[in-house]
Amino acid sequence: MNDLVIVFPGQGSQFPGMGKTWFDAHQSVRDRFRQASDILGHSLEELCFTAPPGELTKTVNAQVALLVLGHSMYEVLHAERTPPVSAMAGHSLGEITALLAAGALSFEDAVRLVKVRGEAMQLCAEENGAGMVAVLGTPVAEVEKYVAEFNAAGEGVARTVQVSNYNAERQTVLSGALDDLKDVTAHLEERGCKVARLNVGGAFHSTFMANAVPAYVRAIEAIEFSQPSVPVYSTVTGRMYSGVQEIKDALSVQLTSPVRWSTVVSALADREVALWLEVGPKQVLTKLLRDAVDGGAVHSLDTEPDEAYAALDVLVERKRREPGLVGLCLGAAAATRNRNFDEQQYEDGVVLPYRQLQELGQVDKDALSDVQKTAALELLHTIMTTKQVPETEQRERIAALLARTGDTHLHTATVAGVPAG
């Protein structure tokens, strides 16, 4: 239980003056702000620190400011601690910050993409007169049932209230036309639900954003994405991204698809996370996580940096004492029951590969390249195949090793001869 998960917040976490402490303390943050300002054509520093509060709240401004600040904070964290990140995720816009932090796209491309995203979403929101409400304290299944009842009882008038954010088991966000939201609020409150109007500029993550999609998709297609260096989870599918095309496909429908944050959290919680770290302003996701997960520490780097760094230092020390991937491969090879009693096959397929694993084990685990780690996995595969371990069991065991070390980007498909299913 030594996994570290980094999460990045989305729109709604912005506030006037956000990031000022980081900006003043770190040259790298100032450099990123000014680099982004050159791309945007206006001062991000002024927008965050001195502009009227209403300016930062605008979708076109809030999104790019959150991206730049979140990524800048992560770069500071990485420079100071080199955190052993096992996975990343982000809420809505924060997913792009996660992809940027994981090296899936360049900083310049990310800023340009989010600029287009914010502009398209704001324009679309101004056209359709829709909004969002949060339903608090009611299980998701009940909210979905009540919304379906409301939409079906339109008496010839089409109602399109939609679930747009699955934030937690008892926190659901709805999107819809303003009149429909007023009526559905009454419908929900009659059934004992607590409903809060959200101060946002549109009905995000719903079909009301359809007109924003073409410009956003064109911007996505213009970017050269790469495989993330650490696993990143999609809030469109709720799963870890498996490749570049899946990133582009999911981002292309992100604006009109609900944010499945609770699904992502559940999937990550299965990894037995030791530390969840929110990187970005405020602590919106920190609060959600503390209500949703058990057994792992949850901290905001912005609001409680001392606690966050202390928890990270403890985790780093625990990770240092753990065996690396090669050590785990050696242990798995030695512990695997042998069903092959051909002496020559055993010599060639078990003894010799095990000696090669031992040689790789002489390399410091933190200095191992992905090529060397993949070689270790291939040697383990050879040993298990020779010992006649079924392929399904091999895949499961290798996946477990990768999950334990945080090397899940070395998907089993990269291991020669092991079908990925």
To 10 degrees, what angle do helices 325-335 and 391-405 make?
Answer: 150
Q: Is the pLDDT of residue 400 over 90?
A: no
Mean pLDDT of 222-237: 94
Report residue 411's pLDDT band, with 50, 70 and 90 as the boundaries: low
Pairing of strands 3-8, 87-90: parallel
- Residue 275: strand pairing partners: 4, 297
Mean pLDDT of 27-53: 97
pTM of the model: 0.83
Identified catalytic residue from 92, 164, 175, 257: 92
Residues 335-378: pLDDT tens digits?
A: 999 999 999 999 999 999 999 999 998 988 878 888 999 999 99
Answer yes or no: 266 catalytic.
no
Identified catalytic residue from 187, 205, 299, 381: 205
Residues 6+ apart with CB under 8 A from 184: 133, 147, 150, 159, 161, 174, 176
Whole-number pLDDT of residue 420: 35
* Coil/strand/helix, residue 401: helix
Whole-number pLDDT of residue 121: 95
Mean pLDDT of 118-124: 94
Spatial contact of 182 and 159, defined as CB atoms under 8 Å apart: no
Spatial contact of 92 and 259, defined as CB atoms under 8 Å apart: yes
Whole-number pLDDT of residue 46: 97
Q: Is the pLDDT of residue 386 over 80?
A: yes
Q: Is the pLDDT of residue 413 over 50?
A: no
Strands (E), 38-197: 87-90, 130-136, 162-168, 171-177, 194-197
Whole-number pLDDT of residue 224: 95
Q: Is the pLDDT of residue 213 over 60?
A: yes
Q: Is the pLDDT of residue 409 over 80?
A: no
Report residue 417's pLDDT band, with 50, 70 and 90 as the boundaries: very low
Whole-number pLDDT of residue 295: 79
Whole-number pLDDT of residue 331: 93
CB atoms within 10 A of CB 419: 11
Strands across the sheet containing 171-177: 162-168, 171-177, 130-136, 194-197
CA-to-CA distance for 77 and 73, rounded, in angstroms? 6
Most confident of 15-29, 145-159, 265-279: 15-29
Whole-number pLDDT of residue 156: 60
Spatial contact of 387 and 350, defined as CB atoms under 8 Å apart: yes
Phi, psi for 245 (deg, rounded to 5): -65, -35
Residues 160-185: pLDDT tens digits?
A: 899 999 999 999 999 999 999 999 99
Report residue 260's pLDDT band, with 50, 70 and 90 as the boundaries: very high
Answer yes or no: 205 catalytic.
yes
Mean pLDDT of 22-41: 98
CA-to-CA distance for 25 and 176, rounded, in angstroms? 42
Whole-number pLDDT of residue 272: 78
Q: Which of 57-66, 209-218, 290-299, 363-372 has the lowest mean pLDDT?
A: 363-372
Residues 281-327: pLDDT tens digits?
A: 999 999 999 999 987 899 999 999 999 999 999 988 887 777 889 99
| Average per-residue pLDDT for the chain | 92
Mean pLDDT of 63-84: 95
Whole-number pLDDT of residue 1: 62
Whole-number pLDDT of residue 36: 98
Q: Which of 91-105, 107-121, 133-147, 196-210 has the lowest mean pLDDT?
A: 196-210
CA atoms within 13 A on the CB side of 205: 26
